[in-house]
Amino acid sequence: MHRSRGPRPTLEAVAAHAGVSRATVSRVVNGGAGVRSEVRERVRASVDALGYVPNSAARSLVTRRTGAVAVVIAEPESRVFSDPFFSRQLRGISRELAERDLQLLLMFLEERGDSARVSRYLSAGHVDGVLMFSLHGEEPPLGGAAEEAGLPVVFGGRPGWPGAAADPGLLYVDTDNRGGGRQAVAHLLERGRQRIGVITGPLDQTSALDRLEGARDALAAAGAAPPPALDGRFTAEGGERAMARLLDEEPGLDAVFACSDLMASGAMRTLRARGLRVPADVAVVGYDDLEPASWADPPLTTVRQDVERMGRIMARLLLRRLALEPDEASPSPVVTPAQLVIRQSS
Amino acid sequence: MHRSRGPRPTLEAVAAHAGVSRATVSRVVNGGAGVRSEVRERVRASVDALGYVPNSAARSLVTRRTGAVAVVIAEPESRVFSDPFFSRQLRGISRELAERDLQLLLMFLEERGDSARVSRYLSAGHVDGVLMFSLHGEEPPLGGAAEEAGLPVVFGGRPGWPGAAADPGLLYVDTDNRGGGRQAVAHLLERGRQRIGVITGPLDQTSALDRLEGARDALAAAGAAPPPALDGRFTAEGGERAMARLLDEEPGLDAVFACSDLMASGAMRTLRARGLRVPADVAVVGYDDLEPASWADPPLTTVRQDVERMGRIMARLLLRRLALEPDEASPSPVVTPAQLVIRQSS
């Protein structure tokens, strides 16, 4: 190993030398998980050639200096607290971390300024790894700051930004949202429903988009036209409003697939207010199978995903990246199944 | 200033030399807010005499090195997420911190082991200050670890451990829980109710105890006996169960004061299940004036506390301790008012 005599080489210089992305260099420096052995060797050769020294945040990984894991949720705290999805997933994460005596730090990303501040905190070496939720939009969250700081990251939900699908090192846990959407609408078709509307989540999230695609799959397979669809923002109030607009635009609607139980509960409020019976006039199917599904009157047909288990799997993937779990193979993304649960609302 | 020649002097040594508590030394080292000038001078003289050097966590305060504030909630995350009280208070805190570009880190304290881990993280210099909620029991939370690490702490709710009332340096934000409890029960008495039960929170919390004391005050002022009271754990399910037991033990009950809106909503479920009308058979008064009060059917008479504002005030007190807010006087505890809001349930 020989060192260059110029200024201290950067991650960028190593990436350019090896002909790979900065994220790939970061991954190799942190153990090489998720990187093909051929690429790993090339990066290591460049690290040696340039005499690159990882920064302190990256080094802290090796020693587990902080004993803490950040959970970053890209939502305002009011939404995080009103949707049982997050509390259930956090329960899975916190149990898994507590078993290894790791501290969970919860942070919210609401506004543009929050992103710079969270990036700064994560980059300053206060945590050993990051779990990141509720991705929106077209860019990697935090501009990739966590990865550049050498922190392993696991995403909740499949990342959707350009290039994400081709990146073999991205780690995430997802459910089969497309399959779930397909089951929901196929069930409504089987029950003889003919004019089915969809209340989606924000379509800049892959989970929302995939559920809608699944609904379209089921209708296409039956030779039917794509459904009318409106965004209910994954909130009860959004579901209430979207249902009202769907009924205004399609008075003959006889079924609705709401892509979360919370939105389904809002939709049922609107149906009740308009004097429409569930399921006699309009059948309703939700998604999640969390508390709002069992509170609903009538109880809600929905698509179950085991949210607490997803949280546990996310934490375990991170632990493997942190090499706290003895493991030979590199960790890879996990997609858990979705399962229709039929109750009275359909 | 002269230094002793022995081992490096500890905080304990300074405390013993000055004849004050460790917490007082810590406060003086961190600016002296909340400490009488005479005591402050004595501690500073001992610091000089022994050559005490504050630890790195304490020094980080001066430079605001981390830019982060920990919010520690001594509850399982499932309870934090199901009670709108916490999300509302967090909203106030996060807005106030965001305005100063400070990062909020949320941590839960659920089991005994969590306490050691959180203490370790806080003591390791990863945060500049601590906001602490939902205190239980008879001891300072985290065994005083945050204070010993030189971190300023502000409590949500009046601390109740022995000696807390006499400690002039303790900072907290509370509402007038005793006055609120008094108003709630005085109102029921004015409406002619004669057999009033109370559903309390856990009585190891001062907020729960104070509301019950207020209820007793109102009954004593009317010459009535103390009320039958059962603990509903501040949850909807706990309120449901406590209401059932109160009705079993006191079949003639004509009113109930539930010390949170969530418990009141649970109590109303039990009354409905037993075929009792609200308010005709049993009048109900809650506490908080948050979402469950407006969802209730009939709408709930309750005691309003401005929870978001309490969160803002907590953050501001901490900022003053951190000396980010220009301020001449030392900060002192704040008690906000409680106000009865009369609706149909009573």
Higher pLDDT, B188 or A87: B188
* Domain B61-173+308-334, CATH: 3.40.50.2300
Higher pLDDT, A212 or B65: A212
**How many other CB atoms are found less than 10 A from the CB of residue A100?**
15
Q: What is the pLDDT of residues B81-137, one digit of tens each?
A: 878 888 889 999 999 998 888 999 999 988 777 888 999 999 888 999 999 987 777
Cα–Cα dist A301/A147, whole Å: 40
* CA of B324 vs chain A CAs: smallest distance (Å): 17
Kindly state the percentage of chain A with pLDDT values over 70. Answer: 91
Out of A81, A86, A103, name the one closest to residue B121 (CB).
Answer: A103
What pLDDT sits at residue B33? 62
Tell me if chain B has a CB within 8 Å of the CB of A188. no
What pLDDT sits at residue A307? 92
* CA of A289 vs chain B CAs: smallest distance (Å): 17
CB contact under 8 A, B66 and A120: no
Mutation site, A85, A87, A95, A103, interface B, largest B CB count within 10 A: A103
Tell me if chain A has a CB within 8 Å of the CB of B87. yes
- Is A61's pLDDT higher than 50? no
Instruction: Supply the mean pLDDT for chain B.
Output: 87
Averaged pLDDT for residues A175-179: 97
* Interaxial angle between packed helices B22-29 and B11-18, expressed in degrees from 0 to 180 and rounded to the nearest 10: 100
**Pair A301, A340: CB distance under 8 Å:** yes
**Pair A134, A157: CB distance under 8 Å:** yes
Out of B77, B101, B121, name the one closest to residue A117 (CB).
Answer: B101
What pLDDT sits at residue A32? 59
Question: Can you read off the two tokens belonging to residue A70?
Answer: 């950040």
Same CATH topology for A11-54 and A65-173+308-335? no
* CA of A15 vs chain B CAs: smallest distance (Å): 30
CB contact under 8 A, A103 and B108: no
Q: Could you give phi then psi for residue B294, rounded to 5 degrees?
A: -85, -25
Query: Looking at the domain covering A65-173+308-335, what would its CATH class be?
Result: alpha beta
The C-alpha angle with vertex A213 and arms to A210 and A216, in degrees rounded to 5, equals 155
Q: Which residues of A touch B126 (CB under 8 A)?
A: 66, 68, 126
- Is B169's pLDDT higher than 60? yes
CA distances from A213 to A107, A181, A182, A183, B219 (A): 31, 7, 8, 12, 62
Higher pLDDT, A39 or A29: A39
CB contact under 8 A, B107 and A111: no
Cα–Cα dist A90/A111, whole Å: 22
What pLDDT sits at residue B99? 87
User: Structurally, what CATH architecture does the domain formed by B177-305 represent?
Assistant: 3-Layer(aba) Sandwich (3.40)
Cis peptide upstream of residue A141 (ω within 30 degrees of 0): no
Beta strand B302-304 with B339-341: parallel, antiparallel or unpaired?
antiparallel
**Pair A64, A75: CB distance under 8 Å:** no
Higher pLDDT, B241 or B10: B241
Higher pLDDT, A168 or A3: A168
CB contact under 8 A, B113 and A91: no
The C-alpha angle with vertex B299 and arms to B295 and B303, in degrees rounded to 5, equals 100
**Pair B345, B284: CB distance under 8 Å:** yes
Q: Return the residue of A nearest to B86 by Cα.
A: A81
What residues of chain A, 101 to 140, have a C-beta less than 8 Å from chain B? 101-108, 110-111, 113-114, 117-118, 120-121, 124, 126
Q: Return the residue of A nearest to B124 by Cα.
A: A66
Contacts of B324 (CB under 8 A, 6+ apart): B64, B100
Out of B90, B108, B110, name the one closest to residue A77 (CB).
Answer: B90
pLDDT band at residue B225 using 50, 70 and 90 as cut-offs: very high
Out of B77, B84, B103, name the one closest to residue A87 (CB).
Answer: B77
Q: What is the pLDDT of residues A68-125, one digit of tens each?
A: 999 999 887 777 887 888 888 999 999 999 888 899 999 998 877 788 899 999 988 8
**Pair B147, B24: CB distance under 8 Å:** no
What pLDDT sits at residue B325? 54
Averaged pLDDT for residues B238-254: 97
Segments making up each domain of chain A, as ranges: 11-54, 65-173+308-335, 177-305
Sheet-wide strand order for B171-175 = A334-336, A171-175, A153-156, A129-133, A68-73, A103-108, B103-108, B68-73, B129-133, B153-156, B171-175, B334-336
pTM of the entire structure? 0.78
Question: Can you read off the two tokens belonging to residue B241?
Answer: 């169960």
Query: Looking at the domain covering A11-54, what would its CATH class be?
Result: mainly alpha
Higher pLDDT, B21 or A342: A342
- C-alpha dihedral sign at B45, B49, B50, B56: positive
* CA of B118 vs chain A CAs: smallest distance (Å): 7
**DSSP sequence for A40-62:** HHHHHHHHHHHT----HHHHHHH
